[in-house]
């Protein structure tokens, strides 16, 4: 046992706290073998960086199948999955309605590069049930949606600068892979190699929950800011829940300055409510981006706005945006099937209540034992934070050293059949397929893991 354990955790051997492990590590040999092979094919062995388990123990689990709230890895281990493909799977894995619709559509071919009725159907489903947008354009990922929304905002306002918030993630768009420099209002510094400084110079970065910084930015760059982009429910760097008043303040300052407000709802769209965070807070942005849930597990993104703003998109307007596989019929089918389920009466109420109970009972456990641990949550999104702050609203308020505790917890949870995204900065998701029984099981595993993490 120890040999394979050493092999799997090589690279972490020195800091592997063997003695705090309450359970033997599950077998991860097949996954480790697959990862060795994958490393010869892909940079870092993966096709998206966070999958590489750089922030937690061991090598990535290779998933063989998913059903309901469970996934199984290549070694045959079963887990209750709280990653849910990073959010898209709000109905859980292998949902029968989604699967059947996909199979039905696939019988007739997989792509035409010409319009299909399925695009109309998904658009109608969304637009009829969302008062914040009047027209939509489908693309193939969240990144693409954001990239297009920004081009649209720039084309519409005839301005170049974009303002974003530290701690919000908007996909791997060049102009948004920037982080704050020092100072209240700063031009971004690129957070990836390969991005021209000139691009980062068009992006202003300010802290979340900071009205003064926002005011100062609008003074300093008067009539230059095309758009302010925010995750209204920032959920890619912990769960940095904002006060409604702050979001309203952003809305007002944008309106005053004829700057467009973009809500990046790639995570929160169809998650917090069918109308996403815009509906939850009742704040109307000018452009909304979607991804993740909208495609039912297939690659779909979208951006929407008023008819007037959307009329600037080609071929109607001068802002060019296109896609060979945009509105792909199979992906549209998956989206239609999934979103139809979300419109059922009580869907969100049940999902959110279930999550609230789960989260509250974990918090009660941690509080009773005086653990420096908080579960933040909204709707069916939750985040485990090793902090004693009442609220965490800014990226700077997250203590990086607390991630060591998450790392321990992640391993203990895997050993107890619970799969969380492999980083303490990532949130967890609960789907309608998470049954009370499985959530109880997960709670017990979480309690045991917390006891081990905080054992001194
Ligand atoms: C996931 C995400 C993106 C990027 O979407 P991809 O489909 O991964 O390109 C953009 N914005 C937010 C808020 C996201 O959560």
Mean pLDDT of the 369-391 span: 97
Chain centroid to CA 58: 23
Q: Is residue 303 predicted with pLDDT exceeding 80? A: yes
Task: Report pLDDT for 180.
Answer: 81
Q: What percent of the chain has pLDDT over 90?
A: 91
Domains of the chain: 5-94+346-455 (3.90.1150.10), 96-342 (3.40.640.10)
pLDDT at 4 exceeding the cut of 80: no
Find out whether the beta carbon of 304 lies less than 6 Å from any atom of ligand 1. no
Per-residue pLDDT tens for 321-347? 999 999 999 999 999 999 999 999 999
pLDDT at 236 over 90: yes
DSSP assignment string, 56-73: SSSPPPPEEEEEBTEEEE
Q: How many A from CA of 143 to the centre of ligand 1? A: 6
Name every residue whose Cβ is closer than 8 Å to that of residue 87 and which is 6 or more positions away in sequence.
267, 271, 292, 293, 429
- Residue 344, Cβ density class (10 Å: 0-12 exposed, 13-18 middle, ≥19 buried): exposed
pLDDT value at residue 6: 36
Is the pLDDT at 11 greater than 50? The verdict is no
- Write down the pLDDT at residue 5: 36
143 lines ligand 1 (CB under 6 A): yes
Which of 146, 168, 268 to mutate for ligand 1's pocket (most ligand atoms within 8 Å of CB)? Answer: 146
Q: Which of 57, 169, 280, 290 is catalytic?
A: 169
pLDDT band with cut points at 50, 70 and 90 for residue 20: low
Q: Is 297 left (phi over 0), alpha (psi -120 to 50) or beta?
A: left
Residue recorded with tokens 């700063």: 186
State mean pLDDT over 18-39. Answer: 86
When pLDDT is cut at 50, 70 and 90, the band that residue 17 belongs to is low
Q: What is the pLDDT of residue 18?
A: 52
pLDDT surpasses 60 at 440: yes
C-alpha count within 13 angstroms, C-beta hemisphere, residue 428: 25
Coil/strand/helix, residue 225: strand
What are the Cα distances from residue 80, in Å, to 23, 105, 224, 323, 435?
A: 17, 30, 48, 36, 10
At 85-122, the pLDDT tens digits run 999 999 999 999 999 999 999 999 999 999 999 999 99
Q: Measure Cα distances from 325 to 37, 156, 273, 398 in Å.
A: 30, 25, 28, 39
**Band (221; pLDDT cuts 50, 70, 90):** very high
Q: Is the pLDDT of residue 21 over 70?
A: no
| Mean per-residue pLDDT, 405-419 | 97
pLDDT confidence tier of residue 302, bands split at 50, 70 and 90: very high
- Residue 231 structure tokens: 């995750």
Cα separation, 108 vs 100, whole angstroms? 14
Q: Which residue has the higher pLDDT, 20 or 212?
A: 212
**Average pLDDT of span 56-65:** 96
Q: Is the pTM of this model over 0.85?
A: yes
User: Among 171, 272, 325, which is best to mutate for testing ligand 1, by the most ligand atoms less than 8 A from CB?
Assistant: 171
Confirm whether 169 is a catalytic residue. yes
Question: What pLDDT score does 452 carry?
Answer: 95
Nearest atom in ligand 1 to the alpha carbon of residue 289 is: 11
Task: Decide whether any atom of ligand 1 lies within 6 Å of the 239 Cβ.
Answer: no
Task: Write out the H or E segment, with its range, that includes residue 359.
Answer: helix 347-368
Please write the tens of the pLDDT for every residue from 149-166.
Answer: 999 999 999 999 999 999
Tell me the pLDDT of the chain averaged across its residues.
94
Dist. CA 320–CA 383, nearest whole Å: 38
Residue 410 and residue 56 in contact, taking contact as beta carbons nearer than 8 Å: yes
Quick one: pLDDT band at residue 441, thresholds 50, 70, 90?
very high
pLDDT at residue number 12: 44
Q: What would the pLDDT profile of 267-284 be if each residue is shown by its tens digit?
A: 999 999 999 999 999 999
pLDDT of residue 182 exceeding 90, the answer is: no
Helix, strand, coil distribution of the chain in percent, nearest 5: 40, 15, 40
Ligand 1 neighbourhood includes 412 CB (under 6 angstroms): no
How far apart (Å, rounded) are the C-alpha atoms in residues 164 and 161? 10
Give the C-alpha separation, 9 to 86, whole Å.
24
Beta bridge partners of 319: 313
Q: Which pLDDT belongs to residue 194? A: 94
Where b means 16+ CB within 10 Å and e means fewer, 287-324 reads bbbbbbbbbbbbbbbbbbbeeebbebbeeeeebebebe
Residue 84 contacts residue 92 (beta carbons within 8 Å)? yes
Answer yes or no: is pLDDT of 2 > 50. Answer: no
Confidence of residue 187 (pLDDT cuts 50, 70, 90): confident
Distance of alpha carbon 406 from alpha carbon 53, whole angstroms: 12
| Ligand 1 site, residue 230, Cβ cutoff 6 A | no
Rounded to whole angstroms, the Cα distance separating 410 from 64 reads: 20
Across the range 207-234, mean pLDDT stands at: 97
Task: Kindly state the helix (H) or strand (E) to which residue 230 belongs, with its residue range.
Answer: strand 225-230
Question: Residue 9 contacts by C-beta under 8 Å, 6 or more apart in sequence?
Answer: 16, 25, 57, 58
Q: Is the pLDDT of residue 66 over 70?
A: yes
- State the average pLDDT over residues 362-367: 98
């Amino acid at each position: 046992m120890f040999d394979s354990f050493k092999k799997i955790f090589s690279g972490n051997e020195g800091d592997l706290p063997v003695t705090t492990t309450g359970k033997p590590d599950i077998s991860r040999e097949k996954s480790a073998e697959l990862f060795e092979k994958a490393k010869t094919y892909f940079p870092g062995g993966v096709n998206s960086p966070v999958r590489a388990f750089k922030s937690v123990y061991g090598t990535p689990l290779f998933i063989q199948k998913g059903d309901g709230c469970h996934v199984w890895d290549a070694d045959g281990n079963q887990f209750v999955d709280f990653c849910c493909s990073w959010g898209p799977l709000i109905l859980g894995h292998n949902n029968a309605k989604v699967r059947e619709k996909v199979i039905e559509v696939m019988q007739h071919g997989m792509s035409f590069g010409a319009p299909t009725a399925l695009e109309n159907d998904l658009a109608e489903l969304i637009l009829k049930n969302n008062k914040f947008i009047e027209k939509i354009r489908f693309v193939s990922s969240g990144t693409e949606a954001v990239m297009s929304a920004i081009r649209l905002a720039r084309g519409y306002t005839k301005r170049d600068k974009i303002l974003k918030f530290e701690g919000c993630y908007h996909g791997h768009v060049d102009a948004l892979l920037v982080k704050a420099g020092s100072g209240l209002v700063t031009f971004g510094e690129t957070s990836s190699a390969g991005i021209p400084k000139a691009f980062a110079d068009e992006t202003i970065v300010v802290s979340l929950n900071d009205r003064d910084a926002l005011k100062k930015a609008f003074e300093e760059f008067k009539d230059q800011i095309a758009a302010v982009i925010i995750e209204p429910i920032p959920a890619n760097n912990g769960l940095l829940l904002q006060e409604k008043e702050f979001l309203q303040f952003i809305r007002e300052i944008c309106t005053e300055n004829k700057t467009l407000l973009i809500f990046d709802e790639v995570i929160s769209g169809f998650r917090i409510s069918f109308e996403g965070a815009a509906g939850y807070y009742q704040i109307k942005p000018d452009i909304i981006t979607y991804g993740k849930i909208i495609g039912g597990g297939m690659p779909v993104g979208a951006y929407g706005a008023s008819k007037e703003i959307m009329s600037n998109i080609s071929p109607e307007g001068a802002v060019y945006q296109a896609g060979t596989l945009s509105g792909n019929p199979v992906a549209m089918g998956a989206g239609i099937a999934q979103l139809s389920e979300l419109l059922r009466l009580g869907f969100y109420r049940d999902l959110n209540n279930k999550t609230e109970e789960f989260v509250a009972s974990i918090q009660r456990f941690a509080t009773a034992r005086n653990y420096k641990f908080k579960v933040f949550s909204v709707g069916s999104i939750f985040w485990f934070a090793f902090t004693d702050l009442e609220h965490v609203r800014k990226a700077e308020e997250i203590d990086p050293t607390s991630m060591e505790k998450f790392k321990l917890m992640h391993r203990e949870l895997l050993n107890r059949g619970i799969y969380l995204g492999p980083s303490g900065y990532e949130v967890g998701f609960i789907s309608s397929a998470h049954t009370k029984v499985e959530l109880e099981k997960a709670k017990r595993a979480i309690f045991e893991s917390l006891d081990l993490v905080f054992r001194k």
